[in-house]
């Protein structure tokens, strides 16, 4: 599958702003709103993702709340594939599966609708999120996809924080593609 070269990676990385000590002291927050606000960079990113996944038979694309929704939904529109949200508790209106997980700065819970994959057994699902740090959100998302009857064939992230080793943990569950590594 295609990946970006070093020059292309630098181009995208240069569009992402870093904010020190957010949401708490010691965290270097990667603000993707600056990439989203750059129509050329956003189009370049979406063209890349469309090219990477266009020949893979996907049944669904799942996006993890909340920034994962942005990229997942745009890619769904490009590939003509249904979108499945993975959300924080009490945000989905129907019966859900839930999974608690650890973050680099606390813990949280995610949920998915029990009927998210419309009864398709072993639905092929691409998980999309903006960032992987410790891997907690991604691992919980993959577990939820499996609980709902799907198969996470790959997890795709705009950014990987390499020092936190989330990809190492996640790669025992699914294939992982990090577009940019920091």
Active-site positions read: 67, 104
Which secondary-structure segment (H or E) carries 49?
helix 39-53
For residue 72, give the nearest of 50, 99, 101, 102 by alpha carbon.
50
Alpha-carbon 45 to chain mean position: 14
Nearest-10 crossing angle of helices 67-79, 39-53:
60
What are the helix and strand counts (H, E) for the chain? Answer: 6, 9
Tokens 């003509």 belong to 80
């Amino acid at each position: 599958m295609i990946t970006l070269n070093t020059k292309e990676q630098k181009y995208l990385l240069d569009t992402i702003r870093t904010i020190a000590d957010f949401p708490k002291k010691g965290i270097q927050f990667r603000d993707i709103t600056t990439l989203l606000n750059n129509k050329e960079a956003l189009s370049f990113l979406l063209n890349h993702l469309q090219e990477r996944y266009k020949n893979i038979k996907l049944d669904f694309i799942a996006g993890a709340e909340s920034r994962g929704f942005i990229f997942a939904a745009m890619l769904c529109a490009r590939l003509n594939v249904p979108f499945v949200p993975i959300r924080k508790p009490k945000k989905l209106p129907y019966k859900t599966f839930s999974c608690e997980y650890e973050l680099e700065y606390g813990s949280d819970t995610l949920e998915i609708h029990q009927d998210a994959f419309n009864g398709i057994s072993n639905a092929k699902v691409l998980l999309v999120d903006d960032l992987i740090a410790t891997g907690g959100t991604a691992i919980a998302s993959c577990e939820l996809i499996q609980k709902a009857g799907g198969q996470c064939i790959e997890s795709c992230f705009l950014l990987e924080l390499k020092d936190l080793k989330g990809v190492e943990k996640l790669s025992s569950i699914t294939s992982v593609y990090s577009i940019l590594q920091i």
